[in-house]
Structure 1
């Protein structure tokens, strides 16, 4: 279930960064995003590429937090963070696809949206 946990954490991070929206993101949201990425980093110990990307994200978040002269996250920085999280999410979904293709998973109301995310990323990557 650690793959599904990581997917849930990264989807929450994307929501905090308002991915796909035009709204501004206050810098005060970055500690929450940082916590979510750190939790994903801890749960993905067998995925070195995901760990490297999570470390890059954490460095980017710390750079953005260091800038105390702005209230909102600049759009370019937000875009970079969103792309990094989506890249991690894609890698985790690939690993989850490989794992759950040969194992059973209990389908519940909680796991269904996460499994849909795995399928979405798997089939979008193939196109």
Structure 2
């Protein structure tokens, strides 16, 4: 990988992956997914469904723009499911609900990690 990254390509991929994240995390995520993936039990199917939405949207966008990076959608899926499971584990273990003082911190860390993932994947795609 090059030590320099074309800024235009980096910004472009960041916009694409941010768009993907907004659509998959907020527009297409149902309450069943959002609430279910953070439960003590029964979290696996809602989490998988949510992350498969991310995979589908990422794959569609990447295939439309640069099909050679199809595997990046799989990497994004693997990282997304790991981050969301970690958040769900914390939420269920420490009973973090909307009223809990850690609620917004947990949401903020989750979103920051997703955006850092997008940044890292964007650097990779822009540099290659």
| Structure with a larger share of its residues in helix | 2
Tell me which interval the TM-score lies in, with the shorter structure as reference length.
0.3 to 0.5
Instruction: Return the TM-score normalized by structure 2.
Output: 0.39
What is the TM-score with the length of structure 1 in the denominator? 0.39
Q: Which structure's relative contact order is higher, taking Cα pairs within 8 Å and 6+ residues apart?
A: 2
